Amino acid sequence: MSLIRRQFLSRAALATSVLGAPALAQAQSATKFNWKMTSAYGKGSPFYMDGPGSATDLAKRIREMSDGRLNIQVFGAGELIPAFEGFDAVRAGTVEMNHANAYFWTGKTAAAQYFTAVPFGMNFQGMNGWLYDGGGIDLWNEVYAPFGMVALPCGNTGVQMTGWFKKEIKTVADLKGLKMRIPGLAGKVYANLGVDVKVLPGGEIFPALERGVIDAAEFVGPFQDRRLGLQKAAKYYYTTGWHESSTVSELLINKAAWDKLPADLKAIVTNASAACNVISEGWCQKANSEAMEDLIKNQGVIARPLPDDVVKALKVETDKVLADAIKDPLTKKVHDSYFAFKAKYDRWSEISEEAYHLKVRG
Ligand code: CA
């Protein structure tokens, strides 16, 4: 912004005491904001960085709706900061926004897990019910308040896949000693069963799996996984998605920067994020159904759910990990809200969505 423009705006703001609110509104509507948004995912990553409902699409929608008053420059992982430094960068105000998943920040605040995905948790519909109407977003902002940040859901992958394994998993014992890429609470669950857990950014998964640095990896779902080439490094693709029954993308915003936005730009960001939340999930349904068919039919992938006994053991360990997580009072508050909502949603879903899929659709 030029010095002359800055002087005009500060004079316009001062003039409000004389001219009243319309002059202030006029000055505000002329103000342009140039923001930076980083991502935990590399440039060109489908769903996260490219395509309908991605970070790039979100910035475009905001720019169009605001008629260029809020311009957000989007940076993939490694372009401005490393993949997992978005939390610190937004907190420090180095960038105004970061696009990633809250569960990458569990080392900063354990409750963050619940705003991405809880093992054996809710699906896309239930998660949205909790976030938008069940107090989830308010709790998210309560958790981030001490860090001077606010957050919004801005994408969802739907149910993810359990992941890629070089060897077949027949029993719980087959997990022991396995080196696996898996973030979040699910990593702790696997660790309880003897898995050596690794957290790697998306771009490092394929080389690690191919070279045998890891024996197994979860990423997202058929489309994104195929793009990384994971089917060339491991043939067993376990489905189920017990660890991420729907995975929320997070728009993390510096609170001081947010507070400087006029109400209409805040509304534009909020509504563009909600649009991307739905649009990105819709894209996943199309992209994944096509990619899964290709992986099975053309690429020799063996896709199946984990054996029931393994799923049961994972559930037992999940309950232990969650019991441990809620020793922290703030995590307990979020946990109780999430699971109270889930209990109601499960009962309703059983006679609505689930019943449709299992009993009516055929
Ligand atoms: Ca994942």
Whole-angstrom CA distances from 332 to 94, 113, 322 are: 31, 12, 9
Return mean pLDDT, the chain: 93
228 CA distance to ligand 1 middle (Å) = 13
Task: List beta partners, residue 217.
Answer: 164, 181
218 CA distance to ligand 1 middle (Å) = 6
244 CA distance to ligand 1 middle (Å) = 7
> How long is the chain?
362
310 CA distance to ligand 1 middle (Å) = 19
Query: Which pLDDT belongs to residue 299?
Result: 97
Q: How far apart are CA 307 and CA 326, in angstroms?
A: 29
For domain 30-154+248-284, give the CATH number: 3.40.190.170
Query: Which pLDDT belongs to residue 8?
Result: 46
126 CA distance to ligand 1 middle (Å) = 18
Q: How far apart are CA 246 and CA 351, in angstroms?
A: 20
Q: Where are the domains of the chain?
A: 30-154+248-284, 163-245+286-361
pTM: 0.89
Q: How far apart are CA 291 and CA 301, in angstroms?
A: 11
Does residue 174 carry a pLDDT above 50? yes
Does residue 3 carry a pLDDT above 70? no
Q: Do domains 30-154+248-284 and 163-245+286-361 have the same CATH topology?
A: yes
Q: Which CATH architecture has domain 163-245+286-361?
A: 3-Layer(aba) Sandwich (3.40)
160 CA distance to ligand 1 middle (Å) = 6
223 CA distance to ligand 1 middle (Å) = 13
112 CA distance to ligand 1 middle (Å) = 15
Q: How far apart are CA 73 and CA 355, in angstroms?
A: 44
114 CA distance to ligand 1 middle (Å) = 14
219 CA distance to ligand 1 middle (Å) = 4
Helix (H, G, I), strand (E, B) or coil at 72: strand
Whole-angstrom CA distances from 351 to 91, 193, 344, 355, 360 are: 43, 34, 12, 5, 11
Nearest to residue 333, comparing CAs of 74, 109, 150? 109
84 CA distance to ligand 1 middle (Å) = 15
CB 222 within 8 A of CB 244: no
Nearest to residue 117, comparing CAs of 130, 135, 134? 130
Query: Which pLDDT belongs to residue 12?
Result: 47
For the stretch 135-161, pLDDT in tens is 999 999 999 999 999 999 999 999 999
Does residue 18 carry a pLDDT above 60? no
Does residue 128 carry a pLDDT above 60? yes
Helix (H, G, I), strand (E, B) or coil at 153: strand
217 CA distance to ligand 1 middle (Å) = 9
Torsion of the alpha carbons at 249, 254, 260 and 263, rounded to the nearest 10: 20
10 CA distance to ligand 1 middle (Å) = 47
141 CA distance to ligand 1 middle (Å) = 23
Structure tokens at 241: 């998605």
159 CA distance to ligand 1 middle (Å) = 9
183 CA distance to ligand 1 middle (Å) = 7
Does residue 91 carry a pLDDT above 50? yes
CB 49 within 8 A of CB 280: no
Whole-angstrom CA distances from 285 to 124, 157, 282 are: 12, 8, 5
The model's confidence at residue 15, banded by pLDDT at 50, 70 and 90, is: very low
Secondary element (H or E) of residue 267: helix 263-298
Q: How far apart are CA 13 and CA 17, in angstroms?
A: 8
When pLDDT is averaged across residues 157-186 and rounded to a whole number, the result is 96
Structure tokens at 76: 């993939």
For the stretch 302-345, pLDDT in tens is 999 999 999 999 999 999 999 999 999 999 999 999 999 999 99
CB 68 within 8 A of CB 61: no
The beta strand positions in the chain, using DSSP E, are 33-39, 70-75, 97-100, 149-156, 163-165, 179-181, 196-198, 216-217, 236-238, 248-254, 302-304
Does residue 355 carry a pLDDT above 80? yes
201 CA distance to ligand 1 middle (Å) = 11
For the stretch 50-81, pLDDT in tens is 999 999 999 999 999 999 999 999 999 999 99
190 CA distance to ligand 1 middle (Å) = 14
Handedness of CA 282, 157, 79, 111 (dihedral sign): positive
**The residue to which tokens 């080196």 are assigned:** 179
100 CA distance to ligand 1 middle (Å) = 11
